[in-house]
Amino acid sequence: MTNTAAPDKRPIVGIFWMLVTGMLFVCVTATVKHVGKGVPAPESAFLRYLIGTLALSPLLLNIFRQRITRRQLGFFAARGAAHSLGVMCWFFAMTQISIAEVTAMNYLSPIYVTIGAALFLGERLAVRRIMAIAVAFVGAMIIIRPGFREVEPGHLAMLVTGVMFGGSYLIAGKMSGEVSAATVVGMLSLCVTIGLTPFAIAAWVTPTLTQVAWLALVAAFATAGHYTMTLAFGAAPMTVTQPITFLQLVWATLLGWAVFDEGVDPWVVAGGTLILASVSFITWRESQLKRRTVTPPAVATKL
């Protein structure tokens, strides 16, 4: 007898892995928040990527045996530069604003990818997608609320982070058609480590063993999160897993309130909801039109 039950369980499996992914990425933000200002942002980012690169050493050895063209190296370097700036701004933002605000504003990255795909890759922006992008920026303005409160440096840093991560993802999408996924991941880790080195040296403060251990935990959480995210995408369509990422904002808000004594700001939750709804709509429309997904899910642009 043919088993027809298994395919029905796949969306449940995808939802499960996306739930795990969200919790892991919240653990990333919480751990970085815990380290706080004790280690400068460029140094924290550098140590996180250095530890990750060392863990990927066997993979990098295989990459070096491959034939990578000068043009591809140029793209990898450009991606590394963009991602390095984005990572530094993200680590800085974590020391300036709440976990909920960082999480909500990080949802903007896929919107920047959509805009970049239209500007540089010839993607057509239909009216509905333009409206979705407008809704996302309204969500961002609700979070920042310029004119109604002081705009923190952390908010500006997160705007830069979104643009840089969006550019990084666009380059990754271009290179994924030429080299293996392992090469894309390995070269990102290596290039970002190199890109962060001079900034880390300029701001260097000798970390304690405890601080290094916490940053190693950041690398472990981030790596595990990317792995479970891959499992989620393999198990269910993005239209199924995308809405689950909203729970990450809920968990981040609760964590900030319970652990870091951060107030629950309904404006941040409302703005984040609008942004995520916009991203989910764009993902759904691309699925309906059966087009190749250019816009990544909200968690795909994580550290």
In a domain, 5, yes or no: no
Output the pTM of the full model: 0.81
Task: Look up residue 13 and give its two tokens.
Answer: 């499996």
Q: Is residue 3 part of a domain?
A: no
Is 2 domain-assigned?
Answer: no
pLDDT of residue 197: 96
List the domain range (segments joined by +) for residue 131.
Answer: 11-301
Q: What is the pLDDT along the chain (303 residues), one digit of tens a residue?
A: 444 444 445 778 888 888 888 889 889 888 988 888 889 999 999 998 998 888 888 878 787 777 788 898 999 999 999 999 999 999 999 888 888 888 888 888 878 888 887 777 777 777 888 888 888 889 888 888 887 778 889 999 999 998 998 888 888 878 877 887 778 888 888 999 999 999 999 999 999 999 999 999 998 888 888 778 778 877 777 667 767 777 778 888 888 888 888 888 888 889 888 888 887 787 776 666 655 555 566 666 567
- What pLDDT is stored for residue 209 in this prediction? 93
Residue 238 maps to a domain: yes
SS (H, E, C) 133-164: HHHHHHHHHHHHCECCECCCHHHHHHHHHHHH
Distances (CA, A) of 132 to 96, 273, 280, 297: 29, 13, 9, 14
Number of domains in the chain: 1
Residue 53 one-letter amino acid: T
Query: For residue 48, is it within any domain?
Result: yes
Residue 52: what pLDDT?
85
